[in-house]
């Protein structure tokens, strides 16, 4: 039904345009919708010179450039490149009727803006005063310079239900989208598989791109942007994000380099800096100027928390103790308070890195490692004491899938696994004390909340293979 409405929307929205002129600018990097609430959303758009990415005959680059090696070819000519274009973008939007429409409701105008190289030719439209639990269709037109605006594309998304309304919700979680480990020339197979499930939203937990060990090393701002362009211009990702909103998190590889922290100087991708990575992330995803740690309510039964694991952390090599932190004092206070204040039936914390694990003994980057053992134990104990029955952790970062339960606090964690089988590996092996399930393969996690007529609800966590087949399922009913 969603696909049918989307196709109808395409046809009807074409009538909104007052011109049939050929577009002078394009949207090769697609459209991204993010930060959706019951009344608001952000729509990200980037103008490009061409309708398609620079051709890439092989989905797997052949080499990773050596540290310090400079690019000899222009970034605009690299496989997967999407050169930007200066120009004007206009966005109009309208809610879809719940039944098959004869016509769309009158469109609201989000404005016309000028974009240029300063922002990588991007703009983020903030839509407000939306209706809860409604599908919205956006029409995007554009032009180079003062030219006549021409149709570029349409996108759709559905707003969240009101906090007091019971409604079914499904979302998916991904991580580890290394470009050289693509499993299909059109984009990761998981995006086709996830779209068939018709999720309400997606959470990419970080490591969306790999500046430091993917071809080519992102040792400049243009090359770092290129990593984002080539991933999000893949046809499967363009199709997915035109229909499904997302909430992006960042981790180490899409901030600077492996296991990074504020102030770290990278030898691998210098002169790119940590601050460069922070700015590029906000530029390339629909987040606006708000905090990178935040929470979203999806109806009566579900609330999610997205934590920031890079911007506030102590340097990894520092001695562990009460003052050493990944999240920082303010974020931890916010997290505790907002979790306790919430009356949602199910509370799901989505973290770029694991909190329960277990992880490899050689790592020193996350709450399951000895480097941050104090804060890890502190937070697991707090979760277990204050949120005993309706709280779960979902994490990215790890290249294997698992469902773990901490033996001491009984806090449960699900690892979504990497985006492809090619990117799977590195697990320390199954730990019978922790693991309810363990699998070293690629895929994704889906979470479904289903309300009952009685007022209770069921939450179900499913770990999927890249083809969408369910490898493991766990569910619980609310009291």
Q: Is 18's pLDDT higher than 60?
A: no
**Domains of the chain in sequence order:** 2-49+84-158 (2.60.40.380), 169-477 (3.60.21.70)
Which one, of 306, 308, 380, lies nearest residue 348 by Cα? Answer: 306
Segment 320-324 shows an average pLDDT of 98
Calpha distance 28→376 (Å, rounded): 42
> Any idea which of 68-72, 210-214, 244-248, 345-349 has the lowest mean pLDDT?
68-72
Q: What are the tens digits of pLDDT across the range 259-310?
A: 999 999 999 999 999 999 999 999 999 999 999 999 999 999 999 999 999 9
CA torsion 182→188→189→195, rounded to 10°? Answer: 180
> What per-residue string of b and e applies to 283-305 under the rule 16 or more CB within 10 Å gives b?
bbbbbeeeebbbbbbbbbbbbbb
* Residue 4 pLDDT level (bands cut at 50, 70, 90): very low
Contact 368, 354 (CB under 8 A): yes
Q: Is 15's pLDDT higher than 50?
A: no
Q: How remote is the C-alpha of 459 from its chain's centroid?
A: 21
> Any idea which of 60-74, 245-259, 435-449 has the lowest mean pLDDT?
60-74
Sign of the four-CA dihedral 109, 111, 115, 121: negative
Looking at residue 21, its pLDDT comes to 52
Calpha distance 223→82 (Å, rounded): 12
Calpha distance 357→376 (Å, rounded): 10
- Token reading at 67: 């540290």
Q: What are the tens digits of pLDDT across the range 172-223?
A: 999 999 999 999 999 999 999 999 999 999 999 999 999 999 988 999 999 9
Q: Is 95's pLDDT higher than 60?
A: yes
Is it true that the peptide bond before 271 is cis, omega within 30 degrees of 0?
yes
Looking at residue 467, its pLDDT comes to 98
Looking at residue 239, its pLDDT comes to 98
Tell me, letter by letter, the H, E, C secondary structure of the chain. Answer: CHHHHHHHHHHHHHCCCCCCCCCCCECCCCEEEECCCCCCEEEEEECECCCCCCCCCCCCCCCCCCCCCCCCCCHHHCCCCCCECCEEEEEEEEECCCCCCCCCCCCEEEEEEEECHHHCCEEEEEECCCCCCCEEEEEEEEECCCCCCEEEEEEEEECCCCCCCCCCEEEEEECCCCHHHCCCCCCCHHHHHHHHCCCCEEEECCCCCCCCCCCCCCCCHHHHHHHHHHHHCCHHHHHHHCCCCECCCCCCCCCCCCCCCCCCCCCCCCCCCHHHHHHHHHHHCCCCCCCCCEEEEECCCEEEEECCCCCCCCCCCCCCCCCCCCCCHHHHHHHHHHHHHCCCCEEEEEECCCCCCCCCCCCCCCCCCHHHHHHHHHHHHHHHHHCCCCEEEEECCCCCEEEEECCCCCCEEEECCCCCHHHCCCCCCCCCCCEEEEECCCCEEEEEEEECCCCCEEEEEEEECCCCCEEEEEEEECC
Segment 344-368 shows an average pLDDT of 97
């Amino acid at each position: 039904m969603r696909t049918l409405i989307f196709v109808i929307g395409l046809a009807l929205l074409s009538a909104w345009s007052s011109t049939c002129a050929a577009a002078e600018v394009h949207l090769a990097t697609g459209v991204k919708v993010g930060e959706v609430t019951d009344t608001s959303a952000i729509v990200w758009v980037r103008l490009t010179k061409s309708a398609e990415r620079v051709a890439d005959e092989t989905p797997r680059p052949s080499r990773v450039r050596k540290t310090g090696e400079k690019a000899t070819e222009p970034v605009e000519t690299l496989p997967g490149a999407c050169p930007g274009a200066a120009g004007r973008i206009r966005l109009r939007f309208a809610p879809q009727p719940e039944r098959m429409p004869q016509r769309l409701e009158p469109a609201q105008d989000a404005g016309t803006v000028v974009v240029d190289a300063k922002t990588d030719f991007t703009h983020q439209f903030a839509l407000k005063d939306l209706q809860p639990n409604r599908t919205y269709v956006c029409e995007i037109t554009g032009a180079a310079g003062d030219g006549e605006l021409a149709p570029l594309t349409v996108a759709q998304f559905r707003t969240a239900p009101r906090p007091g309304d019971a409604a079914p919700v499904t979302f998916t979680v991904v991580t580890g989208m290394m470009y050289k480990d693509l499993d299909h020339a059109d984009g990761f197979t998981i995006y086709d598989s996830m779209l068939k499930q018709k999720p309400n939203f997606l959470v990419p937990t970080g490591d969306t791109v790999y500046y430091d060990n993917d071809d080519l090393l992102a040792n400049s701002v243009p090359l770092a942007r290129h990593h984002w362009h080539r991933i999000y211009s893949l046809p499967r990702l363009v199709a997915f994000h035109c229909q499904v909103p997302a909430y992006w998190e960042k981790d180490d590889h899409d901030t600077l380099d492996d296991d990074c922290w504020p102030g770290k100087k990278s030898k691998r991708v210098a002169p790119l800096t940590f601050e460069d990575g922070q700015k590029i992330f906000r530029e390339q995803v629909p987040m606006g100027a708000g905090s990178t740690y935040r929470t979203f309510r999806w109806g009566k039964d579900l609330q999610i928390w997205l934590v920031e694991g890079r911007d506030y952390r102590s340097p990894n090599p520092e001695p562990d103790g009460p003052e050493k932190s990944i999240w920082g004092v303010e974020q931890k206070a916010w997290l505790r308070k907002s979790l306790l204040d919430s009356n949602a039936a199910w509370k799901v914390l989505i973290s770029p890195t694991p909190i329960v694990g277990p992880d490899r003994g050689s790592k020193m980057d996350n709450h399951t490692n000895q480097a941050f053992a104090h804060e890890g134990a502190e937070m697991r104990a707090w979760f277990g004491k204050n949120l005993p029955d309706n709280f779960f952790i979902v994490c990215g970062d790890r290249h294997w899938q698992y469902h773990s339960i901490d033996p001491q606090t009984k806090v449960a964690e699900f690892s979504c696994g990497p985006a492809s089988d090619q990117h799977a590996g590195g697990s320390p092996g199954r730990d019978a004390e922790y693991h309810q399930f363990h699998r070293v393969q690629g895929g994704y996690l889906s979470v479904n909340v289903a309300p009952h007529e009685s007022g209770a609800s069921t939450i179900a966590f499913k770990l999927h293979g890249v083809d969408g087949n369910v490898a493991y399922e766990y569910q619980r009913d609310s009291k």
